[in-house]
Homo-oligomer: A and B are copies of this chain.
Amino acid sequence: MVGMETQLASTPDTASTSPAKRTGGRSALVLAAVRTAVEELIKERGPERVTVPMIAERAGVNPTSIYRRWGDLPTLINEIATYRLDPERPLPQSGDLRGDLTAWAREIIEHYSTAVNAALLRAGAATAGESESDCLRNRRAEATMFVARTPNPPVTADQVIDHLVAPIIYRVIFLPWSIDGTTADRLVAELFDRA
């Protein structure tokens, strides 16, 4: 009984090939527009004061499209936050652990010095408990890598997390004004030399 085309848009007959997702052209445009809209709005109003219709209007897109694609505002924000971080950028690799970590820390601080990224980090913090989308996990992996490739590492990966990443993230979230050009170097110095 293949008749009665109920067209429920599920389980296509050629199930094995591919669902034939659509990634180019218009979809991509919508995606980009929504992303920038979210970033702008989150920067302007803070993550708590943004709504889906707002984003839709700013992006020149119908709210329905957003609801259908993401379903949820936290989901959407999380997706954007995680995406924005790590486009597989090259990491510092001078052979000197301390130098690498300093450069790396500067990079992170630089990244979060923009209002958008800081706001996205805060938004991510709010949903960190429930969804697995921890946007900081990559940092942990990077720290582990830095330490692992050093012969006799004077610090552990955990120490890098605790005394370099954690202070930076903490200050970005709660004390943004307290970060300046010397922060990265100071933290690295305290990590290695002890004050």
Quick check: B134 and A128 within 8 Å, CB to CB? Answer: no
- Which among B74, B126, B166, B195 is the interface contact of A125 at CB below 8 angstroms? B126
Q: How far is the CB of A58 from chain B (nearest CB, A)?
A: 19
Report the bound CA distance from A155 to B127 in whole Å. Answer: 34
Report if A128-B136 is in contact (Cβ < 8 Å); known contacts: A159-B190, A162-B163, A187-B162. no
Residue A173 is within 8 A (CB to CB) of chain B in the complex = yes
Report the bound CA distance from A165 to B162 in whole Å. Answer: 10
Interface string of A182-195 (1 = CB under 8 A from B): 00000100100011
| Identical subunits present | 2
Q: How far is the CB of A173 from chain B (nearest CB, A)?
A: 5
Report the bound CA distance from A163 to B191 in whole Å. Answer: 9
In residues 112-156 of chain A, which contact B (Cβ within 8 Å)? 118-119, 122-123, 125-130, 134, 136, 155-156
- Which among B47, B123, B156, B194 is the interface contact of A194 at CB below 8 angstroms? B194
- Which among B126, B155, B166 is the interface contact of A126 at CB below 8 angstroms? B126
Report if A126-B122 is in contact (Cβ < 8 Å); known contacts: A187-B162, A195-B155. yes
Quick check: B46 and A129 within 8 Å, CB to CB? Answer: yes
Give the residues in chain B near A167, CB-CB below 8 Å: 161-163, 166-167
Give the residues in chain B near A122, CB-CB below 8 Å: 125-129
- Which among B118, B166, B170 is the interface contact of A129 at CB below 8 angstroms? B118
Report the bound CA distance from A118 to B129 in whole Å. Answer: 9
Give the residues in chain B near A165, CB-CB below 8 Å: 170
Question: What residue in chain B is nearest A43 (Cβ atoms)?
Answer: B129
Of all A-B residue pairs in the complex, the 9 with the closest CB atoms, nearest first, are A166-B170, A126-B126, A125-B125, A162-B167, A194-B194, A166-B167, A166-B166, A48-B74, A46-B130
